[in-house]
Structure 1
Amino acid sequence: MDTFIAIDIGASSGRLMLSQWVNQQLSLTEIHRFKNSFRHLDGFDRWDIDYLIKEILIGLEKVKQAGFDTCCVGIDTWAVDYCLVDREGLRLGDPVAYRDKRTNGVIERFSQTYPLQTLYEKTGIQLQPFNTIFQLYVEEKDLLAKADKLLLIPDYLGYVFTGNMVTEKTNASTMQLLNANTQSWDSDLLAAIQVDESLFPPLVDAGTILGKLAYEQFPAYDLPDATFITVASHDTASAIIGTPGSGTDWGYISSGTWSLLGIETNVPKISAAAFDENYTNEWGAHNTIRFLKNIMGMWLIQEVARQQAYRYSFAELAELAKETPGFQQFIDVNDPRFLHPENMISELQDYCRETNQKVPETPGEIARCVYDNLALCYGSELQKLEALTGTTRTLQTLHIVGGGSNNTFLNQLTADIAQCTIEAGPGEATAIGNLVLQMMAVGLFTTLEEARAAIKRSFPCTIHQPSAFDQTIVLTYQSFLKGAQQHDKNPATL
């Protein structure tokens, strides 16, 4: 098999990317792209799974039309959300989106019956109100009673196309239900949310062959002979596989709707300090751990653009920001108020009013406020990351991958604030990580190091060297943030 298809679906868009390994180079061709979003239905914000299935089928049909009769296929999506299916294998409604308000205040409620410190010690996973454990804690009990199996989104899509049910480990780790030491379901946590282990299909490693495409289920489509491989199905797990780092002195920001800032390691770092800073230990492919911090990310600017009816492109917003005086406001980009506001621009302005700061008004001022504070957050979190991991992991290079790697203004701002070299790219790191893990599964690469070397040869990065920067701005930002977050020191208030 020499043709590989990555089905890579994020919170705002999806794509099918085709790759082949030719002359020691990875090719990459976009076959099909489509939008994705949740909508309010039956009382909740929900993903339209049937729409995603249809778009995948359209994309696979385009693969066949392009002359590729056989291929391997891997699916990655966002984490934590799930589909419930009954004993006949039928889906019990569309899945609720992680930004839905049903989990507002859930951590505080959960903490009244189960210690949050113990939860972290068991799993090593950061406290986020949308984690699967908390979604299940507030799930409708009559719906759970009807459910025979729970499938995370990429595992459900794999089941639709092959008829086989699995739970892929890199994505399953984000559920906050797996024990970091035993690497299996934690019975105490399942008991705390009144869920039985039988609800989950068998755990499998990334790189497991899932099965053949069940053509008979889709007679209206002319599809290729496809073998599905269960890749690192959490999109961040795939993105880090697709990050061309080497050695041990590099970190990463997977920059998309969320910004995931961290390092790759082999041992989870579960400590009181990591708990206090809300760092997570997500499982990666080939026995790696992603020790990282979840940051609100490009969602902020995506929502700013949407509220302006997309009058400005993201590139135009970056140019407007570049022409605007910087560091006029400090904001906590991880404040829960920015998770799913009615109007992001109004929310940013209200935050500044409430903290007695200059209110950004023009598109350039609003964009500059977002970019300044994302870069300040990245720089501050890099300092925390080095403190949490020890002096042996002083980072020399920061790789920025994903869609945000194309934002040269934000990348240079980050290099200046963090005072480290940034290598930006590849922009399609998630799809590339998906593809190279398929290639590893069929024997084209034997190690992650070998695969990443091939990625570096195939997709050159843009280098950003740090220039002089007034570090008192960073100190002022950190001081402001410390004061603003005093009421949130207990994660139960999230």
Structure 2
Amino acid sequence: MRYLAFDLGAESGRAIIGTLADARLTLEEIYRFPNEPVRIPDGLHWDVLRLFHEMKEGLRRAAARYGTGLKSLAVDTWGVDFGLLGDKDILLANPYHYRDGRTRGVMEEAFKIVQREEIFSQTGIQFLPFNSLYQLLAWRQQHPDLLSQAQAFLMIPDLFNFFFTGIKAGEFTNATTTQMYNPRTGAWAADMLAKLGLPVNLLPAVNPPGTIVGQILPRVARETGTGEIPVIAPGSHDTASAVAAVPAAGPDYMYISCGTWSLVGTEVREPVINEQTLSLNFTNEGGVGGTFRLLKNVTGLWLVQECRRTWARRGENLSYSELTAMAREAKPLEAVVDPDHPSFLNPEDMPAAIQAYCRETGQPVPGTKGEIVRCALESLALKYRWVLEKLEDILGKKLPVVHMVGGGTQNELLCRFTAGATGRQVVAGPVEATAAGNLLVQAMAMGEIKNLVEAREIVRRSFVLKTYDPENTGAWEEKYEVFVKLVS
């Protein structure tokens, strides 16, 4: 059977066909398009109408190639961002980008009404200033008249599902990223939201991954040349789909879904909401198959992406492979940064921000492009170790293997650094874990796969995985002591 996955990330979106035959999954990218946020006077927005146009083009190309052979489609995207619909389902504004600055200080204002401890007890979600909760509070503060017109709140993948089907519905894995959903009760945290003066009536019913949302609208079918194929909610948060495709054979492992963000965690059957996870600012996001993802959001290859973008603005257009080659030649473990320091959230000049951090913390200041990129990659590897140690403390057990999935696994230097920093064997792959997980959940929804265990067996058979063993662990141990002081 053939399924169509729309996988939208922070830089681009793809339409990917998955063919499941003989217990193997093969992937075919049929369309790729840019995902570029747009800054206008009121802030930074996602261009969702353009993205939907591009998705319909991907669907048109899929239909032209495979006709009625497509069994379903599904959309996954990043979390926390959302759209608001008004009367007659009008989109009230282009959704804001999570890196927009309008939520600055909003989280602290919320704590004056509902204590931090209560918010965590209700939601189990890591405190980040751009969580949906604080974005919606920013709407109430800055656009109260517009918010009063809202009749529906839809996370970004749910919004695209609405564009495809006309049906307004939520999905579990993305709902849990909002810091407005109670994973223990399986419902929106209505009492907490009421205390904060937020309209609970906007929030949709929440369906589990693998739910058939509905059939695509007849006009979309006519536009794209498809039949009335079903739209399925996968793990619509891209990390949930990526973790569904982690090729683990047992429960004791740490995963790193590595891209613009690094989502670093493990899979558990129940959310872990206690004083320890609160103090460490860990998060409990929904997963596929009745699981939860106990994890930490770590600023990932954003540091390298922004360095590359800064240099490109200066006329130095370098590929990621060229930058990695430069980093490979730089001197190892000279200076490190905390990737999650606020100065790296959205600086105008990322290389200068990294240099300033090193200067202010009394470390050697990286000067060349190779030194700056190496600093970023080594710092990421050390942050992965920090999360690994905290996870093992929380769970009271060792996690002997690290599974790295996603586009970041193409950076072999980062994979090697991760093995050295953690002292664990690293299994890298698949690169297209998010798309694979999306497609396999569709197959589960259509009855072709029984469960998550079978899906992961298919991943192990279908993709080439690469193993990295720890190297130079003594030097990593020494630098880790420096890193821990910086993080603390």
**TM-score (normalizing by structure 2):** 0.96
Moved more, 373-382 or 309-318: 309-318
Partner of 2:346: 340
After TM superposition, the structure 1 = structure 2 runs for residues 80-119 of structure 1, keeping only pairs within 5 Å, are 80-119=80-119
Partner of 2:162: 159
After TM superposition, the structure 1 = structure 2 runs for residues 55-74 of structure 1, keeping only pairs within 5 Å, are 55-71=54-70, 72-74=72-74
Q: Distance in 2 between matches of 1:286 and 1:222?
A: 33
Q: Distance in 2 between matches of 1:3 and 1:42?
A: 43
Match of 2:208 among 182, 185, 205: 205
Q: Distance in 2 between matches of 1:279 and 1:227?
A: 36
- CA apart distance, 1:330: 2.2
- CA apart distance, 1:180: 2.5
1:168 aligns with 2:167: no
1:294 aligns with 2:300: no
Q: Distance in 1 between matches of 2:430 and 2:114?
A: 42
Q: Distance in 2 between matches of 1:466 and 1:184?
A: 43
Q: Distance in 1 between matches of 2:12 and 2:287?
A: 23
Moved more, 323-332 or 430-439: 323-332
Q: Indicate the RMSD between aligned Cα atoms, in angstroms.
A: 1.3
Contact 2:301 2:408 in 1 (8 A): yes
Contact 1:261 1:378 in 2 (8 A): yes
- CA apart distance, 1:12: 0.8
Contact 1:232 1:238 in 2 (8 A): yes
Q: Distance in 1 between matches of 2:9 and 2:487?
A: 30
Kindly provide the amino acid, as one letter, of the partner of residue 361 in structure 2.
T
Q: What secondary structure sits across from 1:431 in the alignment?
A: helix
Partner of 1:486: none
Contact 2:284 2:295 in 1 (8 A): yes
Partner of 2:392: 386
Q: What secondary structure sits across from 1:27 in the alignment?
A: strand
Kindly provide the amino acid, as one letter, of the partner of residue 288 in structure 2.
A
Q: What secondary structure sits across from 1:285 in the alignment?
A: coil
Contact 1:256 1:402 in 2 (8 A): yes
TM-superposition CA deviations, 1:16-46 (whole Å, max 9, x none): 1101111221111001011102111241100
Moved more, 223-232 or 119-128: 223-232
Q: Distance in 1 between matches of 2:433 and 2:165?
A: 26
Partner of 1:416: 420
Partner of 1:432: 436
Question: How many equivalent residue pairs?
Answer: 479
Partner of 1:143: 146
Judging changes above 3 Å, is the alpha-carbon distance between structure 1 residues 214 and 33 closer, same or farther for their aligned structure 2 residues? same
Q: Distance in 2 between matches of 1:207 and 1:214?
A: 20
Q: Distance in 1 between matches of 2:221 and 2:450?
A: 35
Q: Distance in 2 between matches of 1:211 and 1:307?
A: 43
Contact 1:425 1:459 in 2 (8 A): yes
- CA apart distance, 1:259: 0.2
Q: Distance in 2 between matches of 1:341 and 1:239?
A: 28
- CA apart distance, 1:479: 2.3
Q: Distance in 2 between matches of 1:97 and 1:469?
A: 39
Partner of 2:51: 52
Q: Distance in 2 between matches of 1:300 and 1:289?
A: 28
Q: Distance in 2 between matches of 1:21 and 1:481?
A: 45
Q: Identity across aligned pairs (percent)?
A: 38
- CA apart distance, 1:276: 1.2
- CA apart distance, 1:119: 0.7
Kindly provide the amino acid, as one letter, of the partner of residue 402 in structure 1.
G
- CA apart distance, 1:203: 1.2
Q: Distance in 2 between matches of 1:362 and 1:215?
A: 56
Contact 1:345 1:366 in 2 (8 A): yes
- CA apart distance, 1:220: 4.5
Q: What secondary structure sits across from 1:400 in the alignment?
A: strand
Match of 1:183 among 181, 186, 189: 186
TM-superposition CA deviations, 1:118-149 (whole Å, max 9, x none): 11111110101110111111112111101110
Contact 1:69 1:225 in 2 (8 A): no
Q: Distance in 1 between matches of 2:354 and 2:105?
A: 22
Contact 2:74 2:231 in 1 (8 A): yes
Q: Distance in 2 between matches of 1:357 and 1:472?
A: 14
Partner of 1:472: 478
Kindly provide the amino acid, as one letter, of the partner of residue 77 in structure 2.
T
1:18 aligns with 2:22: no
1:441 aligns with 2:436: no
Partner of 2:226: 223
Q: What secondary structure sits across from 1:69 in the alignment?
A: helix
Contact 1:436 1:451 in 2 (8 A): yes
1:4 aligns with 2:37: no
Unmatched tracts of structure 1, length 5 or more = 483-494
Contact 1:125 1:282 in 2 (8 A): yes
- CA apart distance, 1:334: 0.4
- CA apart distance, 1:409: 0.6
Q: Distance in 1 between matches of 2:221 and 2:54?
A: 13
TM-superposition CA deviations, 1:325-354 (whole Å, max 9, x none): 022212111012211111111111121222
Contact 2:63 2:224 in 1 (8 A): no
Contact 2:184 2:271 in 1 (8 A): no
1:375 aligns with 2:381: yes
Partner of 1:488: none
TM-superposition CA deviations, 1:376-432 (whole Å, max 9, x none): 1111211111111112xx111111000111111110111011011111010110000
- CA apart distance, 1:90: 1.2
Partner of 1:357: 363
TM-superposition CA deviations, 1:191-250 (whole Å, max 9, x none): 133223220121111111111111325754433542111111000111100111121111
- CA apart distance, 1:160: 0.5
Partner of 1:281: 284
- CA apart distance, 1:151: 0.5
Kindly provide the amino acid, as one letter, of the partner of residue 226 in structure 1.
I
Judging changes above 3 Å, is the alpha-carbon distance between structure 1 residues 351 and 468 closer, same or farther for their aligned structure 2 residues? closer
Contact 1:166 1:202 in 2 (8 A): yes
Q: Distance in 2 between matches of 1:397 and 1:217?
A: 45
